[in-house]
């Protein structure tokens, strides 16, 4: 039994401590709120609502806490959305690792989906994954809910930094005055932007290709988490993006997956809802049988765009860029031209035959719609990248078509087109990845029995749109997606302008 004097002393000290704590609570009314702000929830839906609330809290008092807005790319695909959500999650739950490893300041990391809320339904595959991870879309912070992106509210003076996920350069809408980019995690070509970023992880397709940005986030998570378990919803989210982007780890050269994706898949699957606690990896390839059905579901939902008209199809997966004052939009669409211009995709009707006069009218309507979209978005040049599957007598093959349109002189478009056709094979672009562009042939047959050809263009001039020139190709290099086409185009334009 302790002596009476010691007991009295202990009680006296404890009373002082409690009194000081009560005084802090009394004279610091923000104390409780600040603690709850810093403690991020673990459930995904609750976490995203908490993160969204931090923007309003910061707006009310920017001095309380540094804020970093992590944004996915403007196309808003699943890889982009999943990666930015998961990266913010691990950075908020493992802040010490990122402070010590990369020298990042103490901050709250908030994921921003760069898709307006009304357009979330354009990507049903994303909604399917949100449902799987028990997250309602209204928990997301969409870009249009931030207001004017060029506002001083998002400047360094306002105690805000920015982070880029699945793209390497800050979009023009965010302005360039007093903006600080602290984080870049990306698998597009490195254009040298934002060298000052403290965490700058870019795997360029030309040197260190990676199929999915989610694989890079999984790598960062494995480093930050150590041997600790990954929350199931986070693992399901990242794994879904990897599976969809790489077609269930279809390896290069026939697919997009690389060793980085295999390692990420092997790390995530044991923590996910997709099967066994370990993954069999042999000769650099993982057993993906447990995600085969999920991949098929995701691909089917992604490729069913029957609910979208031409305007929505162009907007659904659009990225904007510029060079020397030339504004360019690159839209990726999971359709063939034959299915698109005929609107057969809306009823899932077969694409078989067409009379030439009918095809002429269809192309005229499509070119007019494209020109209107370009003017609406302030584009000088549009690139439309089409990807689809075509059944032959023996099997189903991947196909790509590519259209290039320019609101200006046909002579300039002809120079760009001839340079892209020679890209990767002739100087000065011999070191580039060839796109293998050939004259376009459609899926439908005309009465003569031949495949349909491009209509509505005469000498590169679009008949239905004065002042518009264009070209359409069949792209034989089916692995050359936008990550390959965009740098090639920008390099050609830099040479010509």
Q: What pLDDT is recorded for position 39?
A: 85
Q: Alpha-carbon distance 156 to 182, whole Å? A: 11
- Stretch (H or E) spanning 182: strand 181-186
Helix (H, G, I), strand (E, B) or coil at 115: coil
Query: Confidence class of residue 10 from pLDDT cuts 50, 70 and 90?
Result: low
Q: What pLDDT is recorded for position 155?
A: 96
CA distances for 200 relative to 167, 263, 352, 442, angstroms: 11, 20, 49, 43
Q: Alpha-carbon distance 256 to 245, whole Å? A: 8
Q: What pLDDT is recorded for position 15?
A: 55
Burial of 233 (0-12, 13-18, 19+ CB in 10 A): buried
Query: Confidence class of residue 28 from pLDDT cuts 50, 70 and 90?
Result: very low
Helix (H, G, I), strand (E, B) or coil at 229: coil
- Nearest one of 399, 385, 481 to 433, comparing CA atoms: 481
Name, in order, each residue with C-beta under 8 angstroms of 27's C-beta and a sequence gap of 6 or more: none
Q: How many CA atoms are closer than 13 Å to the CA of 491, on its beta-carbon side?
A: 21
- For 47-88, the DSSP string reads HHHHHHHHHHHHHH-TTSS-EEEEE--TT--HHHHHHHHHHH
Q: Which pLDDT tens digit goes with each residue over 241-262? A: 999 999 999 999 989 999 999 9
Full-model pTM: 0.88
The pLDDT mean for the chain works out to 91
Q: What pLDDT is recorded for position 393?
A: 74
CA 311 to chain centre: 20
CB under 8 A, 24+ apart: contacts of 167-176: 167/72, 167/73, 167/74, 167/80, 167/319, 168/193, 168/194, 168/202, 169/193, 169/194, 170/194, 171/74, 171/114, 171/320, 172/320, 172/322, 173/149, 174/149, 174/150, 175/149, 175/150
């Amino acid at each position: 039994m302790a002596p009476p004097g010691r007991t009295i002393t202990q009680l006296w000290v404890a009373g002082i401590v409690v009194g000081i704590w009560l005084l802090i609570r009394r004279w610091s009314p923000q104390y409780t709120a600040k603690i709850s702000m810093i403690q991020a929830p673990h459930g995904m839906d609750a976490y995203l609502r908490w993160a969204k609330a931090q923007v309003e809290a910061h707006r009310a008092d920017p001095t309380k806490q540094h804020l970093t807005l992590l944004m996915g790319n403007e196309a808003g695909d699943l890889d982009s959305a999943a990666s930015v959500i998961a990266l913010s999650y691990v950075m908020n739950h493992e802040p010490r690792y990122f402070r010590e490893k990369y020298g990042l300041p103490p901050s709250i990391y908030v994921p921003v989906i760069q898709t307006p809320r009304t357009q979330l339904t354009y990507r049903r595959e994303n909604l399917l994954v949100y449902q799987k991870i028990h997250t309602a879309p209204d928990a997301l912070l969409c870009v249009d809910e931030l207001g004017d992106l060029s506002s001083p509210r998002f400047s360094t003076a306002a105690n805000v930094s920015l982070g880029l996920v699945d793209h390497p350069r800050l979009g023009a809408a965010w302005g360039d005055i007093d903006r600080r980019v602290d984080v870049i995690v990306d698998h597009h070509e490195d254009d040298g932007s934002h060298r000052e970023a403290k965490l700058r992880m870019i795997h360029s397709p030309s040197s260190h290709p990676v199929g999915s940005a989610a694989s890079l986030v999984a790598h960062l998570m494995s480093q930050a988490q150590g041997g600790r378990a990954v929350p199931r919803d986070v693992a399901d989210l990242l794994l879904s993006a990897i599976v969809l982007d790489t077609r269930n780890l279809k390896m290069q050269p026939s697919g997009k997956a690389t060793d980085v994706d295999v390692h990420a898949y092997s790390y995530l699957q044991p923590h996910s809802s997709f099967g066994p606690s370990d993954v069999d990896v042999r000769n650099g390839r993982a057993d993906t049988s447990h995600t085969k059905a999920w991949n098929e579901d995701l691909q089917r939902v992604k490729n069913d765009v029957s609910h979208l008209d031409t305007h929505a199809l162009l907007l659904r997966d659009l990225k904007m860029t510029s060079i020397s004052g030339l504004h360019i939009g690159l839209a990726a669409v999971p359709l063939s031209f034959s299915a698109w211009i005929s609107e057969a995709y809306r009823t899932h009707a077969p694409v078989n035959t067409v009379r030439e006069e009918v095809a002429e009218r269809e192309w005229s309507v499509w070119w007019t719609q494209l020109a209107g979209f370009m003017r609406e978005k302030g584009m000088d040049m549009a690139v439309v990248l089409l990807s689809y599957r075509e059944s032959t007598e023996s099997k189903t093959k991947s196909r790509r078509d590519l259209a290039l349109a320019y609101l200006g002189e046909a002579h300039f478009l002809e120079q760009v087109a001839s340079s892209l056709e020679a890209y990767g094979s002739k100087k000065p672009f011999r070191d580039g990845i060839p796109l293998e562009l050939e004259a376009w042939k459609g899926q439908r047959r005309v009465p003569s029995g031949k495949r349909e050809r491009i209509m509505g263009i005469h000498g590169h001039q679009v008949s239905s749109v004065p002042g518009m020139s264009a070209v359409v190709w069949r792209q034989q290099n089916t692995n050359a997606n936008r990550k390959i086409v965009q740098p090639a185009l920008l390099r050609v334009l830099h040479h010509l302008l």
